[in-house]
Amino acid sequence: MIVTAPYLMFLGDVPDQLAAKTAQGIVDWRGEWCLGQLRLPGCKADLGIPDMTIAEAAAAGVRTLIVGVANAGGVLPDHWTSIIVAAIEAGMDVASGLHTRLGSKPEIRAAAEKHGARLTDVRHSTETFATGKGTKRAGYRLLTVGTDCSVGKKYTALALEKAMRARGLDADFRATGQTGVFISGRGVAIDAVVADFISGAAEWISPEAMPGHWDLVEGQGSLFHPSFAGVTMGLLHGSQPDAYVVCHEPTRSTMRGVQHPLPSIADVIDLTQRCGALTNPGIRPVGIAVNTEKLGESEARALLAKLEAEHGLPATDPIRFGVETIIDRLVRDFPDTRRLTHA
């Protein structure tokens, strides 16, 4: 994958901040690459970076327009086409994490061919995957799982990678979604893989490694979500995690995009244990990651203390309070965790 920085983040007219989570993730973890945002009338998201027109972005040296939205079905609305064409005509490449391929729009394809622009569809891998085999492989893997979609699974895995490396531990983030691929420059969007090969793709993402090395695998969806449980299950079986962290957003009553009630953290632990044991009988939880953004600090700390007491696991908000307690638990439970020789 080649996506040339710096970027202009295109948000279209998305209805809320969560719909711009791809762009937000890139800004949060690779903010130095993001010069500005382009929003259409009615857009309800704001990345907190300068608003720019196509002309202003081109003058500032932007190289790539990033379609930074995540919507149901990953569709590219027709009324966004003219903006994308304008960016191409201004000399930019275009990259998207949607299911709809950029080149499937005749106007975009024609403009790219005329101006020599690169169209990058991050969600569509060029790899050919085998079916999953479930064979034990060396190295350790941690998977982030969730009570719902969009509860912090990616951010938790990235925070763990950053903090573990800072402590001299051998760990790598493994991206399984379009935003993670943008951030890390590698990986595969699992939800775009044909169903029979999801677990095989997960095995490919987190291959055999040195003993004691940790692959921190970005989770997707939820085992309880009626739309996306299939992707979650394939990822669980293929990543064959030794450990997992349960991610949760405490203010929701129903799962995102459907009317089904949110499962409890205990429900998620129970089902993850039973399903994950198929490919790794030793699977175990090592922490709870809670997105407390909508809570005051005292309320957040009280909730985390309550969850720790209920489940016997360290509970934290990875962004607000860090992940050190989870890493402490991980090292306690897996004392042969590999330390880098130069640390």
**Residue 132 within any structural domain of the chain:** no
What are the tens digits of pLDDT across the range 286-324?
999 999 999 999 999 999 999 999 999 999 999 999 999
Give the strand order in the sheet containing 140-146: 171-174, 214-217, 140-146, 243-248, 284-290, 315-316
CATH number at residue 246: 3.40.50.300
* Residue 202 to residue 63: CA distance in whole angstroms: 32
What are the tens digits of pLDDT across the range 19-55?
999 999 999 999 999 999 999 999 999 999 999 999 9
**pLDDT tier at 343 (50, 70, 90 boundaries)?**
very low
**pLDDT tier at 77 (50, 70, 90 boundaries)?**
very high
- End of a domain among 88, 121, 154? 121
* Residue 143 to residue 183: CA distance in whole angstroms: 18
pLDDT of amino acid 163: 97
Mean pLDDT of the chain: 95
pLDDT of amino acid 125: 82
What are the tens digits of pLDDT across the range 115-149?
999 999 998 888 899 999 999 999 999 999 999 99
Q: What is the dihedral of CA 81, 86, 87, 91, to 10 degrees?
A: 140
Same domain (yes/no): 166, 274:
yes
Which residue type sits at 8?
Answer: L
* Residue 98 to residue 170: CA distance in whole angstroms: 32
pLDDT of amino acid 2: 72
pLDDT of amino acid 74: 86
Per-residue CA distances from 188 to 141, 163, 196, 272, 300 (Å): 17, 23, 15, 22, 34
Helix (H, G, I), strand (E, B) or coil at 288: strand
Same domain (yes/no): 192, 149:
yes
Same domain (yes/no): 199, 283:
yes
Q: 141 has which bridge partners?
A: 215
Same domain (yes/no): 112, 182:
no
Same domain (yes/no): 158, 293:
yes
pLDDT of amino acid 342: 56
Give the strand order in the sheet containing 93-96: 34-39, 7-12, 64-67, 93-96, 119-121
**pLDDT tier at 1 (50, 70, 90 boundaries)?**
low
Same domain (yes/no): 245, 146:
yes
What are the tens digits of pLDDT across the range 184-226?
878 899 988 999 999 999 999 999 999 999 999 999 999 999 9
Same domain (yes/no): 31, 106:
yes
Q: What 3 state SS string does 160-194 have?
A: HHHHHHHCCECEEEECCCHHHHHHHCCCCCHHHCC
**Residue 323 within any structural domain of the chain:** yes
**Residue 2 within any structural domain of the chain:** no
What are the tens digits of pLDDT across the range 326-335?
999 999 999 9
Q: What percent of the chain has pLDDT over 70?
A: 99
Same domain (yes/no): 310, 204:
yes
**Residue 261 within any structural domain of the chain:** yes
Same domain (yes/no): 116, 34:
yes
Name the domain count of the chain.
2
Same domain (yes/no): 64, 163:
no
pLDDT of amino acid 170: 97
pLDDT of amino acid 20: 95
Could you tell me the two tokens for 303?
Answer: 């909730």
- Give the rounded distance of the alpha carbon of 154 from its chain centre: 4
* Residue 255 to residue 149: CA distance in whole angstroms: 7
pTM, whole model, 2 decimals?
Answer: 0.86
Domain hosting residue 315, numbered range: 140-333
CATH number at residue 41: 3.40.50.720
**Residue 216 within any structural domain of the chain:** yes
**Residue 339 within any structural domain of the chain:** no
**pLDDT tier at 72 (50, 70, 90 boundaries)?**
confident
Same domain (yes/no): 65, 160:
no
Task: Show the beta-strand stretches assigned E in 161-274.
Answer: 171-174, 214-217, 243-248
Q: What is the mean pLDDT of residues 59-67?
A: 97
**Residue 87 within any structural domain of the chain:** yes
Position 78 pLDDT exceeds 60: yes
Q: What is the mean pLDDT of residues 244-248?
A: 98
- End of a domain among 89, 121, 153? 121
Position 234 pLDDT exceeds 60: yes
**Residue 134 within any structural domain of the chain:** no
- End of a domain among 61, 93, 121? 121
Q: 146 has which bridge partners?
A: 247
Same domain (yes/no): 155, 283:
yes
